[in-house]
């Protein structure tokens, strides 16, 4: 019974994430997000200082491909060599490798132009959904899910959630601070990655039942 309830909850959450993503995309397409984006941009970029810029550059770097590749190699070693969890390894790489492919597809569908004012770094490509926010949510999200399964102490689980949520949030904030994304790009990236993680978990659970 508990397993059925858990599976049903995953389906419900996936549908909610997909519907919310569609809602954000439609709002962007109808130019109805300025009331949401502009105050947040003004607040975050109003914090600009050399110290904050250094912090935000660091969080953007943590969300980059190079750092995630290094952590992925460590995860590969831990899951495959130490714990022999080869099926979980498939889930991890399905999420992590599928996320950038989905981001490329979505960006080419929506083709939203990046903000062109107050950029602290230069970057090419479309804006929605944010690639960094998608990658961060997918990577740290699935890493948290896998670690949660093998973490028993409640305090350790709480610390795990806080650390992951902080990383994901600040990587997203860093993209707005640096002037290369709108807040709605970040929200869209989080929602798209949430749906993708849940889809992969559903497929993973079905695969394990066979």
Query: 128-156 burial, b for 16+ CB within 10 Å, e for fewer?
Result: bbbbbbbbbbbbbbbbbbbeeeeeeeeee
Which of 18-32, 46-60, 85-99, 118-132 is predicted with the least confidence, judged by mean pLDDT?
Answer: 85-99
* pLDDT of 2: 45
pTM for this predicted structure: 0.88
Is the model's pLDDT at 121 over the cut of 90?
A: no
Q: What is the pLDDT of residues 150-197, one digit of tens each?
A: 777 888 888 989 988 999 999 999 999 999 999 999 999 999 999 999
Give the chain's mean pLDDT.
86
DSSP string, 140-209: HHHHHHHHHHT---HHHHHHHHHHHHHHHHHHHHHHHHTTS--HHHHHHHHHHHHHHHHHHHHHHHHHHH
Which of the 8 DSSP states describes residue 79? Answer: I
Is the model's pLDDT at 64 over the cut of 80?
A: no
């Amino acid at each position: 019974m508990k397993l059925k309830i858990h599976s049903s909850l995953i389906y419900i959450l996936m549908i909610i994430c997909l519907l919310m993503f569609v809602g954000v995309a439609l709002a962007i397409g109808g130019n109805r997000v300025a009331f949401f984006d502009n105050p947040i941009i003004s607040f975050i970029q109003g914090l600009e200082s050399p110290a904050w810029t250094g912090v935000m550059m660091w969080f953007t770097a943590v969300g980059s491909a190079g750092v995630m590749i290094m952590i992925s190699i460590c995860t590969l070693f831990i899951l495959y060599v130490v714990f022999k969890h080869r099926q979980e390894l498939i889930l991890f790489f399905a999420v992590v490798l599928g996320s950038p492919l989905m981001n490329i597809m979505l960006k080419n569908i929506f083709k939203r132009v990046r903000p062109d004012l107050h950029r602290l770094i230069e970057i090419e490509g479309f804006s929605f959904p944010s690639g960094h926010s998608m990658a961060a949510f997918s990577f740290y999200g699935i890493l948290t899910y896998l670690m949660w399964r093998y973490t028993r102490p409640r305090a350790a689980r709480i610390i795990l959630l806080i650390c992951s949520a902080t990383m994901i949030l600040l990587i997203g904030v860093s993209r707005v601070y640096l002037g290369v994304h709108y807040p709605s790009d970040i929200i869209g990236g989080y929602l798209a990655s949430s749906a993708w993680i849940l889809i992969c978990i559903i497929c993973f659970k079905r695969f394990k039942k066979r």
